[in-house]
Amino acid sequence: MSRNGHAPRHWVATALRRYEGRLVQYAQRITGDAERARDAVQETFLKLCREEEQPLDDHLVQCLYTVCRNQAIDLRRKESRMTPLAEPPVLEADLSQPEPWRQVEDDESVSRILLELDRLPHNQQECIRLKLQHGLSYREISEITELSVSNVGFLIHTGLKRIRERLQRNDQGADRQPTN
């Protein structure tokens, strides 16, 4: 912290640039609303401004995701009586330009996987998304979700296995369909 009691701007700005988009995506999965997700992330970074840089160095990612998760859950609870308007998910821009046919094929595969992911229990979904979409380690996920590392590993393994089995079943069912 600087002498005036505020975190150095460069440290917070760097964390904001690096994690804001991923945190908004994560919070939106919890709140179901892009605006509430942004509010949760804003509150997360306001809390970060009040912290000292040094003690957080080793666990900044876990701290940000944990605070963001708690903020998002609090917002969801406070506004649980209100019906949110459906909004498209907040996604980071993809700068790559794949071939059009490949993009359609990839979009279809991703859609099928995400559909099956949404059918999993919430705790499996959360752990898988933190691992695959946000690149966190089992230990980091454990600290964020307050589950044991072995439980996180079990939830991820079981969830991915279930997704794989459902996709294979769907593919086998499609292969057996008679063609006209």
Predicted pLDDT at 80: 67
* Residue 153 located in a structural domain: yes
CATH code of residue 108:
1.10.10.10
Whole-model pTM over 0.85: no
> Confidence band (pLDDT; 50, 70, 90) for 1?
very low
User: Are 15 and 61 contained in the same domain?
Assistant: yes
Per-residue model confidence as pLDDT tens digits over 5-15 = 554 567 778 88
Predicted pLDDT at 57: 66
For residue 52, the one-letter residue type is E
User: Are 169 and 131 contained in the same domain?
Assistant: yes
DSSP state of 58: G
Residue-range definition of the domain harbouring residue 15: 9-78
User: Are 73 and 117 contained in the same domain?
Assistant: no
Per-residue model confidence as pLDDT tens digits over 109-135 = 778 888 888 999 999 999 999 998 888
Per-residue model confidence as pLDDT tens digits over 80-91 = 655 544 444 555
- 109, with CB counted inside 10 A (0-12, 13-18, 19+), is exposed
User: Are 113 and 64 contained in the same domain?
Assistant: no
